[in-house]
Structure 1
Amino acid sequence: MKYTQTISKLFIGILLLTFLSCAHTPKRPVEELTYRLIPQFADRFIFEEKVASDSLDFYEIESKGPKIIIRGNNDNSMAVGLNRYLKDFCLTTITWDIADSIYMPDNLPSVPSIVRGKARCQNRFFLNYCTFGYTMPWWKWDDWERFIDWMALNGINLPLAITGQEAVWYHVWKKMGLTDEEIRNYFTGPAHLPWHRMSNLDYWQGPLPLSWLKNQENLQKQIVKRERELNMKPVLPAFAGHVPQELNRVFPKAKISRLSEWGGFPDRYRSHFLDPMDSLFSVIQKEFLTEQTKMFGSDHIYGADPFNELVPPSWEPEYLSSVSRTIYESMSQVDPQAIWIQMTWLFYIDMPSWTKERVNAFVNAVPKGKMILLDYYAENKEVWRITDRYFGQPYIWCYLGNFGGNTMLAGNMKETGMRIENVFHEGGDNFTGIGSTLEGFDVNPLMYEYVFDKAWDISIPDESWIEKLADRRTGKIDPHARNAWKLLYDSIYTQPAQLGQGALTNARPSFKGHGNWTTQPYINYDNKTLLKAWGEMLQATPRNNDLYSFDVVNIGRQVLGNYFSVLRDRFTKAYIHKDKNELSRIGQQMINLLTDIDELLSTHSAFSFERWINKARQTGITDEESDYFEQNARTLLTTWGEKNQSLNDYANRTWAGLVQNYYRVRWKMFIDDAISALNEGKEFDEKAFFRKVTDFELSFTQQTGYSEVQSKRNSVETAKKMYQKYASQIAE
């Protein structure tokens, strides 16, 4: 009897488990996203797929009792609907930075009436080759997971996905007869790989460790899997002609030429290019795409960018046409559905050489619709307007907004909005989307929210958009925050980001100018206006402390950085007038200001050199590898390349640790030498100082084991202290 009861209970248990298993359906990717980001409210959202009436994505939001219903034609559009609800009803901004906590109200607000949204374009592109060097080289999966969620929330469906390609090339070059040493020496250090991938640079800080190749291969598999789950089409790389010069050892008859010098690097780092007319070209393309598809799959969209900031072997239109045609045909022979995405930065940066005839020859050698062109820096120069809308090939209007990860408040918001509206009305049938091609994640996150909102039918005036932004950044409606953001919109965010920007604090010291083209400190607004915005911001009483803390540090950092230029000019004046007491007094003020800037920055992880270095070190699996990665990470942000390179300070950032231990040290050397020269009745020795400062810069890149604990000071209280200390001086 007991045996029969036991069997019966076991049978009932199995049936119950089977029923529960069958009743449970796997969560949609957008549901999983919701559980990751706001787990405390995830069960309050219901996501329903609904067929679109046309080819454009859409979403709907409504309340049903305690539940929030979000519908859309796929998980990507439903994520946009979720983000719209969070932003408009909860005053919640979810950033791309995993270090930022997510503010939510105590209760989910209901939606009074159904809210609908529809995409205005099919393609929403994001990223730049450079972003993978200036921001992402040390990212782990948790960083990528948060970032991919952010992309989905903002409707991005065409992300550049070039992580891990060296693992593919390693297998291809090995198969073609190159040795392990030849291949890994050919690659650059991790942070410089974007410029290797763009054919600008080889061998710099190689060899690349095998552990890096495997790590990045595994990471890319996770990246593309998640992006596809959220209805994105990852843009994978294709072969564009860049080869190791050692390939001539195996194929002595291959037509391989040396490309032009780039970035001031010596000849030994120059890249090599295989003539597309060489029969080996299609062989390599087939090997690469086949191996890549085996590793990472394919959505049939490939990025290939020959001649970026380089001089082609020939400027003849027939040659440019044959290069373009061969690259595309070699792709389509492997993947008949292949679409080629080409950035058009090269047309902008070398406009005199890329005449309309040459651009036309290059882009129209590819069948119509099989090439998509990225109008890379359209907030500054719209190439579509000077190329007859790219002669009919599809294109995407892109906002760049940042060079080198520079920490400068920049962005021409009104102009950007007008240009986007104009391209929707005047861009032609071959205008297919909106994108952003930022070089580094930066201190102007509002601009990227703004640009991707423009890809949807959110028809509110900019003034209202800014008010809503202010509400989200503080977690409440606060008049002081709104006033601050209105000042920023009207007076600060009026000019596009430029190549080589940086506060004078970050420049190689000099009596006048700014040391190098890479650290231009010029601003087109009165610093007193920015000071006023900072003061208004500091009077706000936020509920969302994380984003508000970022804002008060970010604005304060720029205010104080701008003021440093005033002090430097006073220092120069005192030197010219041989006023020893004034020279010493102003010199000490400059050093104290740099110390105070570093103190303010140290209160927020977004402005941390320590964070950058620690992430680089954590990438290594041995102490030796950690040291190697740290040196590579230091180099990119300081000298960029070799000693006294033309790109020196191109990736300058006003970050805690970098200000105190690098920029401040350089300025103290300069100030001390100027004071000594005046005291000794000598002229300042420019050459001696140059030798000293460049020796220091190089030595800084070679240090290892950096560790500086983030300050536990409160960001807001520290910002208020700095404001009280400097406001009257700046307002003079």
Structure 2
Amino acid sequence: SVEPALAAGGPDTYRLLSPPGAAVAVAVTGSSGVAAAAGLYRYLRDFCGCHLSWSGAQLRLPDPLPRLRTEIRVTAPGRYRYYQNACTQSYSYVWWDWARWEREIDWMALSGINLAPAFAGQEAAWQRVYRSLGLNQSEIDAYFTGPAFLAWNRMGNLRGWAGPLPPAWHLKQLYLQSFYGQPFIWCMLHNFGGNHGLFGTVEAINRGPFAARRFPNSTMVGTGLVPEGIEQNDMVYELMNELGWRQEPLDLPSWVTRYAERRYGAPNAAAAAAWRLLLRSVYNCTGVCVNHNRSPLVRRPSLRMDTELWYNTSDVYEAWRLLLSAGAELGASPTFRYDLVDVTRQAAQQLVSDYYVSIRRAFQSHALPELLTAGGVLVYDLLPELDNLLSSHSLFLLGRWLESARAVATSDQEAEQYELNARNQVTLWGPNGNILDYANKQLGGLVLDYYGVRWSLFVSALVESLNSGSPFHQDQFNQAVFQVERGFVYNKKRYPAAPAGDTLDISRKLFLKYYP
């Protein structure tokens, strides 16, 4: 229930209690609808062992529902829990229908988020304004970008690209619908471009909001999430959302152990140990986070790529081993399978960097046999195996991204335009690779037919250079590989939108081949 008086004019508050008698296990009351939803998730999370995230839900309720020994009352330390970045609209939400938005809004409410922008449909309003100012439709069409690039059109730094916006787009969107003395919201900007890649700054987010709130004369009014893209690194977002209701930092190792149990629906020592390893390494960048989401795997190959990382890669390999060992017990959990794909993918990403270093070293040493060996393993085995792994899970499929774009269309012509938008955004990002690979994704189909083809061309160019005795020219390679990249954008190949293969089997096969 909602009782505004519960907050007494202050920040959101929720109350959990078990009324006398057996009829009701728990009564959840909030000062607002969002506060009540946050209280409900607190009960589900901490007392029922449930878990809800972008990658899946584990909602097996105990029977009977647990009763509370004492009343729990929690008041948020700030007025707001903010969510979204202007770019999230294009990198993640662009092809969403109401069913997907409804799930997201439920997640937002249960996470306690009470402040979020609503950009949908504004182009229809602007179109009416522009017409009232005397612009004709062709002038307006030349201004609006295609759907996948509207975030930057709205920010004023892009116009026309991948447009125009069909009339049906406007209609569908309408249906959806610290500075001195200035109040501010402490926000976590965690993701750029909707990239895949394990990453976090857990110590910073566990302490930063509390330090900012304690600062003399602090004007902080809340916490927030501002990722450019979502549906990645669920743990970091669950942590940040919980901190929006806390008065002090958490004990992170204990928290992540309980998180693993909730996420998979059962305790497992190996899975918990894996998460503690990830927490202290890849999820705990404390300095300059070099090459965050910029692995050589997803970059246009060159001889000058940096492979330095902010964490000990052996921790990810060991977490991979531990998760695989938990597969017999947890393999039926959808969120476990998602995490196994994600951690295996991260390990494979690290391996790609190692093979790249071997390729570069062999080329610079004029060691053709070593170049052929390292390049052959990378192009003909590791990348295809990684593509098979990603293709085993619905959330790592290029076909799902492309089909969701086509599904928004009301005609074949629109479907082709929207697919072009979707392909271009995750690859060239613009007509000429203007911010090439900024929105890179590691998806089944994309790894093999885009990144894999680029790497094959790169290795072939290096081999040809050694065989002919002529120098390797990066500018010439860039011109050649651009044709491959552009060809992928305009290719009409259809990709499956349903997964194929068993994640556990494929991950185990990769492990037996490549575990260092």
Smaller-chain TM-score bracket: over 0.9
Structure 2 residue 295 is matched with structure 1 residue 503: yes
Structure 2 residue 45 is matched with structure 1 residue 87: yes
Distance 2:341 2:247 in 1: 30
Q: Alignment partner of 2:193: what SS?
A: coil
Map 1:523-542; keep pairs closer than 5 Å.
523-540=309-326, 541-542=329-330
Amino acid at match of 1:600: L
Amino acid at match of 1:475: G
Match of 2:156 in 1: 199
Map 1:319-468; keep pairs closer than 5 Å.
384=178, 390-426=179-215, 428-457=217-246, 460-468=250-258
Distance 2:501 2:18 in 1: 42
The alpha-carbon distance between structure 1 residues 498 and 406, as it changes in their structure 2 partners (threshold 3 A), is: farther
Match of 1:216 in 2: 173
Among 324, 345, 350, which residue is 1:557 paired with?
345
Distance 1:424 1:601 in 2: 42
Among 129, 134, 140, which residue is 1:177 paired with?
134
Contact 2:420 2:490 in 1 (8 A): yes
Match of 1:566 in 2: 354
The alpha-carbon distance between structure 1 residues 544 and 468, as it changes in their structure 2 partners (threshold 3 A), is: farther
Q: Alignment partner of 2:185: what SS?
A: strand
Structure 2 residue 416 is matched with structure 1 residue 627: yes
Structure 2 residue 449 is matched with structure 1 residue 661: yes
Contact 1:120 1:455 in 2 (8 A): yes
Structure 2 residue 57 is matched with structure 1 residue 104: no
Match of 1:679 in 2: 467
| Cα deviations by residue, 1:405-435 (Å, 9 ceiling, x for unpaired) | 1112111101221111101211635211101
Amino acid at match of 1:547: T
Distance 1:399 1:474 in 2: 26
Between stretches 70-79 and 157-166, larger displacement belongs to: 70-79
Contact 1:411 1:494 in 2 (8 A): yes
The alpha-carbon distance between structure 1 residues 172 and 482, as it changes in their structure 2 partners (threshold 3 A), is: same
Q: Alignment partner of 1:616: what SS?
A: helix
Structure 2 residue 490 is matched with structure 1 residue 490: no
Q: Alignment partner of 2:142: what SS?
A: helix
Map 1:24-35; keep pairs closer than 5 Å.
none
Amino acid at match of 2:13: F
The alpha-carbon deviation at position 580 of structure 1 amounts to 2.4
Structure (1 or 2) with the larger CA radius of gyration: 1
Q: Which runs of 5+ in 2 are unaligned?
A: none
| Cα deviations by residue, 1:595-639 (Å, 9 ceiling, x for unpaired) | 111111111122121111111111111111100011011111111
Amino acid at match of 2:318: K
Between stretches 151-160 and 666-675, larger displacement belongs to: 666-675
Between stretches 160-169 and 700-709, larger displacement belongs to: 700-709
| Cα deviations by residue, 1:667-706 (Å, 9 ceiling, x for unpaired) | 0111122223323333334333221101111121122352
Contact 1:76 1:153 in 2 (8 A): yes
Structure 2 residue 76 is matched with structure 1 residue 119: yes
Distance 2:48 2:355 in 1: 44
Map 1:281-320; keep pairs closer than 5 Å.
none
| Cα deviations by residue, 1:227-255 (Å, 9 ceiling, x for unpaired) | xxxxxxxxxxxxxxxxxxxxxxxxxxxxx
Distance 2:34 2:474 in 1: 57
Amino acid at match of 1:70: V
Contact 1:96 1:146 in 2 (8 A): no
Match of 2:15 in 1: 60
Contact 2:58 2:263 in 1 (8 A): no
Match of 1:262 in 2: none
TM-score, normalising length from structure 1? 0.66
The alpha-carbon deviation at position 90 of structure 1 amounts to 2.2
Q: Percent identity?
A: 33
Distance 1:705 1:581 in 2: 35
Match of 1:710 in 2: 498
Structure 2 residue 26 is matched with structure 1 residue 72: no
The alpha-carbon distance between structure 1 residues 108 and 616, as it changes in their structure 2 partners (threshold 3 A), is: farther
Distance 1:485 1:141 in 2: 34
Q: Which runs of 5+ in 1 are unaligned?
A: 1-46, 221-383, 385-389, 515-520
Amino acid at match of 2:11: L
Q: Alignment partner of 2:330: what SS?
A: coil
Structure 2 residue 5 is matched with structure 1 residue 51: yes
| Cα deviations by residue, 1:468-517 (Å, 9 ceiling, x for unpaired) | 11111221121111111111111221227678732211110123315xxx
| Cα deviations by residue, 1:339-398 (Å, 9 ceiling, x for unpaired) | xxxxxxxxxxxxxxxxxxxxxxxxxxxxxxxxxxxxxxxxxxxxx2xxxxx120111111
Contact 1:530 1:559 in 2 (8 A): yes
Contact 2:3 2:30 in 1 (8 A): yes
Distance 2:138 2:482 in 1: 32
The alpha-carbon distance between structure 1 residues 526 and 499, as it changes in their structure 2 partners (threshold 3 A), is: closer
The alpha-carbon deviation at position 642 of structure 1 amounts to 2.0
Amino acid at match of 1:532: E
Map 1:603-614; keep pairs closer than 5 Å.
603-614=392-403
The alpha-carbon deviation at position 105 of structure 1 amounts to 3.7
The alpha-carbon distance between structure 1 residues 427 and 613, as it changes in their structure 2 partners (threshold 3 A), is: farther
Among 305, 314, 328, which residue is 1:513 paired with?
305
CA RMSD across the alignment? 2.0
The alpha-carbon distance between structure 1 residues 709 and 143, as it changes in their structure 2 partners (threshold 3 A), is: closer
| Cα deviations by residue, 1:511-542 (Å, 9 ceiling, x for unpaired) | 3315xxxxxx5421121111011111222222
The alpha-carbon deviation at position 48 of structure 1 amounts to 6.0
Count of residues paired in the alignment: 505
TM-score, normalising length from structure 2? 0.93
The alpha-carbon distance between structure 1 residues 116 and 464, as it changes in their structure 2 partners (threshold 3 A), is: farther
| Cα deviations by residue, 1:27-75 (Å, 9 ceiling, x for unpaired) | xxxxxxxxxxxxxxxxxxxx46463152221222233525332122222
Distance 1:461 1:101 in 2: 24
Contact 1:402 1:498 in 2 (8 A): no
- Larger RCO of the pair (alpha carbons < 8 Å, separation 6+): 2
Amino acid at match of 2:305: G
The alpha-carbon distance between structure 1 residues 48 and 576, as it changes in their structure 2 partners (threshold 3 A), is: closer
Amino acid at match of 1:109: L
Contact 1:631 1:704 in 2 (8 A): no
Contact 2:82 2:114 in 1 (8 A): yes
The alpha-carbon deviation at position 450 of structure 1 amounts to 1.1
Amino acid at match of 2:300: R
